[in-house]
Structure 1
Amino acid sequence: MRKDIDIPEVKDVHVAVVREFNKEFRSDEWNAYIINNRGISIEMVLIVARGFEGKKETSTMRHKLEKLPPHSFAKIEYMQDEVTALNNEFLVTFFAENKMFEKKFFFPKNSISEDVVATIPVIPKKGILAE
């Protein structure tokens, strides 16, 4: 039975965190983004985000995007500094090519740091891609 289920591999869809200046609060902050670097739109994007380490755990946040055009990105959520010190997990599910895709993106605890920012696809800023 299980061998008959086709689970397609997720390619060219990423989750990244980017350090940005917030003009309203006059401070730098981390924001999580979903990136569609595919040549086609992805639809009905569902994102479940949570942070955890041992007994510490954040609330589970759920986000939905109707459609994310090709070679574009959308903000998922603001990430407090206290949350970046935890393991952070983003479970992304979406539809494309008449199939459902799913992938878990992971940032290990303390891996979100300005010391490791690099060029990321599509977003014209430096950030960190999830594993």
Structure 2
Amino acid sequence: MKKDIDIPKVENVYVAAVKVYNESFKVDEWNAYLINDRDETIEMALIVSKGYDENKQTSVIRHKLEKLPSKSFAKIEFIQEEVLALNNQFQVTFFADGKMFEKKYLFRKNSVNEKALREIPIIPNKGVLAE
């Protein structure tokens, strides 16, 4: 039964939206990153993302990261400007210390913008952390 499964609380793992310069297209763009600020590697990270509001929904996108070392980060996906007007949810499941962890991260609609940029863990650029 689902109620019998103990899923520990996720700590020191974040999803952030960071504006970076794309050399190929010569533009600034938003990208979502998974940040591992834990003292151990996380393994088999599965990320399911989608954008939605009352009237619209994007396609569901799935990503997998075999390993994300301690105190590091990895790009999940490019985020189109139009999608920032929607709620953007990232459901992250991973293994660490022989246990499964799971958490939903949410960027509320229009919360990812230049004015919301802050210092974030590990990544040298400023960004917006998901709730």
Q: TM > 0.5 between the two?
A: yes
CA-to-aligned-CA distance 1:30-50 (integer Å, 9 cap, x gap): 000000000000000000000
How far does the alpha carbon of each residue in 1:67-105 deviate from its partner, in whole angstroms, 9 at most, with x for none?
000000000000000011100000000000110000000
Structure 1 CA distance for aligned equivalents of residues 89 and 4 of structure 2: 28
- Aligned-residue CA RMSD in angstroms? 1.1
> Deviation at 1:2?
6.1
CA distance in 2, matches of 1:127, 1:23: 19
Give the structure with the higher percent strand: 1
Q: Which amino acid is the alignment partner of residue 37 of structure 2? A: N
Q: Distance in 2 between matches of 1:84 and 1:25?
A: 20
**Residue of structure 2 equivalent to 1:60:** 60
Match runs of 1:103-122 below 5 Å? 103-122=103-122
CA distance in 2, matches of 1:115, 1:130: 15
Residue of structure 2 in register with 1:91 after alignment: 91
Letter in 2 for 1:5: I
Where does 1:11-26 land on structure 2 (aligned, <5 Å)?
11-26=11-26
Question: Which structure 1 segments of 5+ residues have no match?
Answer: none
Number of aligned residue pairs: give it. 131
The aligned residue for residue 27 of structure 2 is: 27
Over 3 Å counting, the alpha-carbon distance change for 1:111 and 1:73 in structure 2 is same
